[in-house]
Amino acid sequence: MPSAATLLSDVFGFDAFRPGQEDIVSAVAEGRNVLAIMPTGGGKSLCFQLPALMREGVTVVISPLIALMRDQVRSLRAVGVEAGALTSGNTPEETDAVWDALEAGRLKLLYIAPERLAAGSALGMLRRIGVGMIAVDEAHCVSQWGHDFRPDYLRIGELRQALNVPLAAFTATADAETREEIVARLFDGQAPEVFLHGFDRPNIHLAFEAKNGPRKQILSFAEARKGQSGIVYCGTRSKTEGLAHALRQEGHNACYYHGGMEAGDRRHVEHRFNTEDGLIVVATVAFGMGVDKPDIRWVAHADLPKSIEAYYQEIGRAGRDGAPADTLTLYGPEDIRLRRSQIDEGLAPPERRVADHGRLNALLGLAEALECRRKVLLGYFGEEAEACGNCDICSRPVETFDGTQPVRMALSAMLRTGEWFGSGHLIDILMGVETDKVRQRGHSELPTYAVGKEYSRPQWQAVFRQMMGHDLCRPDPERHGALKMTEAAHPILKGDEAITLRKDVIKSAPRRPAVKALVSDEDAPLLSALKAKRRALAEQQAVPAYVVFNDRTLIEMAEKRPTSLDDMAGISGVGAKKLERYGREFLEVIAGEVAEVHPSRRKLAGRAAGGVYDQLLKAQADLARGEDGTAKPMSCTASLLAKVAEMRPSDAGAMTRLLGDRRAERFGAAFLDVLRDAG
């Protein structure tokens, strides 16, 4: 069996592993139980796909979404790997083809949904096909209190024991608590080898803004990135439809996606997003784990996500190809109230609600951060980081002020009104606005009435928002969302602690210019031509464009301008199968007419044996009629020359056994000279 490095190059077309991949691939290939936590876009799939090719038997991949399974199967087949999926979305012909490949022993990876494990026949079927390993994608779905919990993931541990095979679990989102749950449920508490490979995605620009006309803010963000693929996440189904309509009115190619749509309509949107360049999908979180498009250039949140893990996973759908990507997250006091009430009114036990408030606090701490956002985000996941230079705070440091006095005023107003009111009424009291409600309740007589006149309403709204963000007060669901002090507020109210707030004047930060060109002006026309060729080939084959080649590969082609198949084989993402299938067509776009190459030589493209083959061909041409040019013409077949180039016989005897007596007599000595010179 070829080595991992050889398979990486020949099959997947990569010269080197990404950070952390090689150790994981080795552990999985050796049959150890593994839990790998890697950043979204960090190359998790390769860490079980490559070992599957190195191991005996079928690797069963348990994956949560049909769209994700189909996408990975398509990508594997495109590089020449036999893979299939058994899903409820299969046609009878697709299912028959998978069974035929299994019965013939050709299939290396079988994708199934966790729900299939509930069928009584599943275990018997898996025993019969000779499973050698189980890989679990999106392993955090096993966490009962996680945001993506899937009950059928709980059966995987039993399956591992029943089949008695190694298990490799992968996720991008797992704090310490979730990791413990994965180990307990998938590995029966027996600690696997854990690989924790950083959560940083340095190519993603992080930005937050307080809501101030959120529709206008999203439209402005999208306008600066016109023509680029993006996702806008919304908190409600109706908002997805309204915002998609507004984007279309502004000339964007946009559609919506939510759980209330018919299954066929959702599949249509998924297909469009995968195949169309520059489409914006405005979606609820239902548009989630199945998104595997590598060239999403931006993700915006029109509403605050549910938790810091959800935020991390959702922004992680941008820039999976490693090229620059942008994010923007909008938030306001109503978002905070909604998220708090969802936790308090949920069915989780008290300790879980405390943990969920903690996760929300971490996200709000990121939203109200006073220093580099990446430092704050990675700090939550237990990593230390320097200021990143790639977030809104690094590019435009926030102004701060000592917020102790206004916070104490606000807390006092809260207490003196019995914690029965929301921020709107409390701001009226603090600003001395004598509304009917203030007058009827006698709140104009309170000592806190009009003590905060020096601040404007937007400034007071920002103070209350930040107080909720710092978890100094929470909406009380039993009092219709009235604000109630938390324990954390008492030291500030008593004067024992101070608090620093952002000077939030509620004006938009200047819009960061989009990464409009991924290549130089000189290379841009060629990149456009390569994308057009890719789109045409993808449409012919009815596959997403990135299954042919992703943007990163086309960018490298445009910049390096390969002129031969050997050059093309050196482009990242061009493996042997893709070189054979697409190499000539893309070369013609770059270099015009390309000379025909024999298939035996084409298989050696990009390898040392290719250059040796060329030297052998030249030596053969010189001796085709013998040394004196008068002998009867003789030659070796292209496949025989390829064998010599690959096997490199080291002496005359070995050369004769390979070529036969007559050809060895004519070419043997010259061929041995070529091989010696080639080292």
Q: Element (H or E) spanning 663, and its range?
A: helix 661-678
Q: 4-196 domain in CATH 3.30.390.50?
A: no
Place of tokens 């002020």: 401
Q: Give the three-class secondary structure for 45.
A: coil
Q: 524-596 domain in CATH 1.10.150.80?
A: yes
| CB contact set of 644 (below 8 Å; sequence gap of 6+) | 612, 616, 636, 655, 658, 659, 671, 675
What is 204-395's CATH topology?
A: Rossmann fold (3.40.50)
* Residue-wise pLDDT tens digits, 519-535: 787 888 898 899 889 98
For residue 558, what are the CA distances in angstroms to 14, 446, 531, 590?
17, 71, 10, 8
- Chunked in runs of 10, what are the mean pLDDT values of the chain (679 residues)? 84 86 95 90 88 95 85 89 89 89 92 84 86 93 76 89 94 80 89 88 93 95 91 94 96 94 88 85 80 85 91 89 91 89 84 85 91 92 88 92 95 95 94 93 94 92 91 85 91 94 60 56 87 90 86 90 89 88 92 79 81 89 86 89 90 90 89 86
For residue 236, what are the CA distances in angstroms to 257, 333, 582?
11, 16, 43
pLDDT value, residue 421: 94
* Cα Rg, the chain, nearest whole Å: 31
AA identity, residue 270: E
pLDDT value, residue 517: 57
User: 400-502 maps to which CATH number?
Assistant: 1.10.10.10
Residue 352 CA to residue 372 CA, distance in Å, equals 29
What's the predicted TM-score (pTM) here?
Answer: 0.76
For residue 413, what are the CA distances in angstroms to 173, 317, 431, 469?
40, 43, 11, 18
* DSSP state string for 408-450: HHHHHHHHHTTT---HHHHHHHHHT---HHHHHTTGGGSTTTT
For the chain, the distance separating the N- and C-terminal CA atoms, rounded to the nearest angstrom, is: 24
Is there a common fold for 4-196 and 204-395? yes
Question: Minimal CA–CA distance to 286: which of 307, 322, 260?
Answer: 260
Domain residue spans of the chain: 4-196, 204-395, 400-502, 524-596, 608-678
> What are the structure tokens assigned to 274, written together?
């995968």
Q: Give the three-class secondary structure for 513.
A: coil
* DSSP state string for 64-123: S-HHHHHHHHHHHHHTT--EEEE-TT--HHHHHHHHHHHHTT---EEEE-GGGGGSTTHH
